[in-house]
Amino acid sequence: MFKFNFTMKPKLGIDLGTTYTLVYVPNKGVVLREPSVVAVSEQDNKILAVGDEAKEMIGRTPDDIVAYRPMKDGVIADYRVTEAMLRYYMRKAMSWQTIFRPDVIISVPAGVTSAERRAVVEAAIKAGAKTAQVVKEPILAAIGAGIPIHEAHGHMIVDIGGGTIDVAVIALGGIVASTSVKCAGNRMDEAIIAHMKKTFNLAIGDTMAEAIKVTIGSAIPLEEELVMTVKGRDYLTGLPKSVELSTNEIVKALGRELREIIKAIRDVLQETPPELASDIIDNGIIMTGGSSQLRNFPELVYRRTGVRAQLADDALFSVVKGTGIALEHLNVYKKAIIAKR
């Protein structure tokens, strides 16, 4: 007969992102990666779908069904819907173990306010967590990328997600200099949408903009360009239309957003103490997050800052892997996690 082990406490690490939510279970790894999207029926204020199912509804629903993102720029924009989304993902990740409430670590942007931190903790507790701790994304990204954060040497981490770019210099387990700018993957998608409207009179949606960015996007111009056929609606005739799009057109479209991201990196480098700055020249800049995977992004950072940059292994999962490692070795990372509320 099966006996429950009552000493076994379930733990979850959650990367609560603007675009995607990822969940890590110790000893199992990343068990869930789904869009941070919820479909709500406006008639009876009822939640109809969450995650992949809800994302498929974006731009395709009747007027009384709204598919939207409850997270904006890495923080909670709609408390009730975020709580429902967290509850859904926690239950889905814990289908193997539903009796006990889990201890949860959740990532938040470096520039988050104490009120925004409290909102995330309260949402997690109401969604079914026993305890919830929020940790700044750069710390988790550094842990997940395998950076020895407790050393006296300085390391620079650049985490570019959907809603924010977090840049931080980390030494002795804490953040020495940092900034959090609300310019990342979603802003890039919006820039592509605006460019398609201005240049080609073509209306495209968020999903198509993201596909363009991933398929042919680059941070610097290419000699051998990639080409893609983009389909949308002609603003003038209102009829379906398709155009051929090349990489350097997208480089031009993303220019402003990329400049803002580079500025954030340069600002933090300028704030960094000289001793740590020399460490960063030696160690380079580590880039994590989904949007850091834009083609040739590390090369652009190197050209604009003079500091070597490289993509972390498994850059997309660095933050959520960091939550998992912190959960598994809480005694080692406790100081870094609890430091500076």
CA 160 to the chain's CA centroid? 6
The lowest-confidence range among 245-249, 303-307, 336-340 is: 336-340
Q: What pLDDT score does 160 carry?
A: 95
CA 172-174-178 angle, 5° bins: 125
Q: What pLDDT score does 6 carry?
A: 42
Domains of the chain are: 11-139+319-338 (3.30.420.40), 150-311 (3.30.420.40)
Q: What pLDDT score does 111 carry?
A: 82
134-146 pLDDT tens trace = 999 999 999 999 9
| Highest mean pLDDT of the ranges 68-72, 84-88, 295-299 | 295-299
Distances in Å between the Cα of 153 and the Cα atoms of 176, 299, 336, 340 are: 11, 24, 15, 20
11-27 pLDDT tens trace = 899 998 888 999 999 88
Write phi, then psi, for 228 (nearest 5 degrees).
Answer: -145, 145
* CB of 118 closer than 8 Å to CB of 112: no
Q: What is the mean pLDDT of residues 265-274?
A: 95
Structure tokens belonging to residue 304: 């604009």
pTM of the model: 0.88
Strands (E), 173-324: 174-181, 202-203, 227-234, 240-246, 285-288, 309-311
C-alpha dihedral sign at 117, 175, 34, 196: positive
Return the SS3 of 137. Answer: helix
Structure tokens belonging to residue 20: 């995607």
Q: What is the mean pLDDT of residues 290-297?
A: 95
242-268 pLDDT tens trace = 999 999 999 999 999 999 999 999 999
Q: Print burial letters for 44-73: b (CB count within 10 Å at least 16), e (below 16).
A: eeebbbbbeebbbbbeebeeebebebbbeb
pLDDT > 70 fraction of the chain, expressed in percent and rounded: 94
Strands (E), the chain: 11-16, 20-25, 29-35, 38-41, 46-50, 65-68, 71-72, 75-76, 103-108, 131-136, 155-160, 165-171, 174-181, 202-203, 227-234, 240-246, 285-288, 309-311
Q: What pLDDT score does 47 carry?
A: 85
Structure tokens belonging to residue 36: 């941070």
Q: What pLDDT score does 3 carry?
A: 43
Task: Round to whole Å and give the CA distance between 37 and 24.
Answer: 19
Q: What pLDDT score does 7 carry?
A: 44
Residue 288: which of 320, 249, 240, 253 has the closest Cα? 320
Q: Which residues pair with 49 in a beta bridge?
A: 39
Distances in Å between the Cα of 45 and the Cα atoms of 42, 77, 115, 216, 307 are: 5, 17, 26, 39, 51
Structure tokens belonging to residue 206: 């968020």
Q: What is the mean pLDDT of residues 296-309?
A: 96
Report which DSSP code applies to 317.
Answer: G
